[in-house]
Amino acid sequence: MTVAASATSICITNNKATTIAIGGVGEDSRLVSSSLSASSASFSSSSTSSFRFGLSSSIPSTPLLTIPTCAASRLHLLRLPPPRRCFASMDSGEFPSLYPLHRCKTIYLVRHAQGIHNVEGDKNYKAYMSPEYFDAYLTPLGWQQVDNLRKHVHTSGLLNRIELVVTSPLLRTMQTAVGVFGGDGYTDRMDTLPLMLANAGNSRRAAISSLNCPPIVALELCREHLGVHPCDKRRSISEYQCLFPAIDFSLIASDEDTLWKANVRETKEEVAARGMNFMKWLLSRKEKEIAVVTHSGFLFHTLSAFGNDCHCSVKKEIAQHFANCELRSMVLVDKSMIGSDSSPINYPGKIPSGLDLPSDLADEKNLENGKT
């Protein structure tokens, strides 16, 4: 028997499915190709070998027609039924998803504004290796980007909805976090600590108040790709606490940076795994609307792990690279009940409680009451 090439695909099944590009089957490949142009073939390795013609390798093996092997030479005589439409399963991403609202959180992901390392690093990646960019701070243009985003979160009303801001403990992310989400008009006469001292990190900015703004907490889990690049190495927490007095650093265990290594770069898989742990941490929080100020690499590798159950365009949208000071809102779904929140909106119903009767019994009861 000979195998000729055409547009037909064949699935060879032996408990596992493997799809290969191959052509028609039979002595007369031209006739077979024309007969099977809209169909797929699959071989089944059972004790009685047979050809099974189904719809495609992605469809469960329900053959339209089974033919003994000895009849392979007469395949061109077959008249197969027209192909059926392939219907997607509920898990394929072509159907809407439905989750209880109290099992979801809204997260507002923000990449830091332009840092001094971005200016040259965007032109030449090797510039990120320069020691002069250690713990890079924001450029004047970066602070303009902060002001623009700050205006947006105020005019849109978003600031009033955010219950918590989580920031990576590096200068450029903390400057972005306090600049966008911090309070206004700090003076030394205030009883509260400022979020940022004047000119912290060469900012040339006035002190930023911690009044009338959500709490800001620093967390190592959402740091940038760790290792090798000096711009991603942090200072000591004690030094940061002097510059950003009202940021909460209590969740960071080590004063010195023990995560960054000069000669070991975190792998993409390790960044994604750390990002997944960060998402689980977010789900464990009581807050429902959380802003996260972090980094481009961390966002890209973390978000690339999501969206596999969505349309390919949605997955692409999720993982698209962030621009400096870009904000995107997303819904984080707790599929594994990591959190334990109950809904403050749901209503139990059936108050007062009582025994429900099936509709047919209720009708009979009404008839009996009518007779009496």
pLDDT tens, position by position, 245-263: 999 999 999 999 999 999 9
Return the higher-pLDDT residue of 97 and 258: 258
Cα 371 to Cα 50: distance, rounded to the nearest angstrom:
69
Q: What is the pLDDT of residue 190?
A: 63
Lowest-confidence segment of 6-10, 14-18, 85-89, 162-166 by average pLDDT: 6-10
The arithmetic mean of pLDDT across residues 39-61, rounded, is: 38
pLDDT at 356 over 50: yes
Q: What is the pLDDT of residue 348?
A: 85
The active-site residue, picked from 76, 112, 225, 229, is 112
Q: How many CB atoms lie within 10 A of CB 316?
A: 11
Strands (E), the chain: 9-13, 17-21, 40-44, 50-54, 65-68, 104-111, 164-167, 216-218, 289-294, 327-333
Return the higher-pLDDT residue of 280 and 339: 280
Structure token pair of residue 174: 């903390």
Residues 195, 216: contact at Cβ < 8 Å?
Answer: yes
Confidence of residue 17 (pLDDT cuts 50, 70, 90): very low
The arithmetic mean of pLDDT across residues 4-28, rounded, is: 39
Return the higher-pLDDT residue of 11 and 371: 371
Q: Report the relative pairing of strands 104-111 and 327-333 from DSSP bridges.
A: antiparallel
The string of pLDDT tens digits covering residues 129-155 is 999 999 999 999 999 999 999 999 999
Considering the chain, what is the average pLDDT of its residues? 79
Q: How many CB atoms lie within 10 A of CB 347?
A: 7
Cα 342 to Cα 102: distance, rounded to the nearest angstrom:
6
* Sign for the pseudo-dihedral over CA of 317, 181, 232, 234: negative
pLDDT at 166 over 60: yes
The active-site residue, picked from 76, 117, 224, 266, is 224
Confidence of residue 160 (pLDDT cuts 50, 70, 90): very high
Query: What percentage of residues in the chain have a pLDDT greater than 70?
Result: 70
pLDDT at 271 over 80: yes
Residues 318, 303: contact at Cβ < 8 Å?
Answer: yes
Confidence of residue 93 (pLDDT cuts 50, 70, 90): low
The arithmetic mean of pLDDT across residues 302-318, rounded, is: 92
- 287 as an active site residue: the answer is no
Q: What is the pLDDT of residue 34?
A: 40
Q: Where are the domains of the chain?
A: 108-333
Confidence of residue 67 (pLDDT cuts 50, 70, 90): very low
Could you say which architecture CATH assigns to the domain 108-333? 3-Layer(aba) Sandwich (3.40)
Is the pTM value of this prediction over 0.75? no
Confidence of residue 294 (pLDDT cuts 50, 70, 90): very high
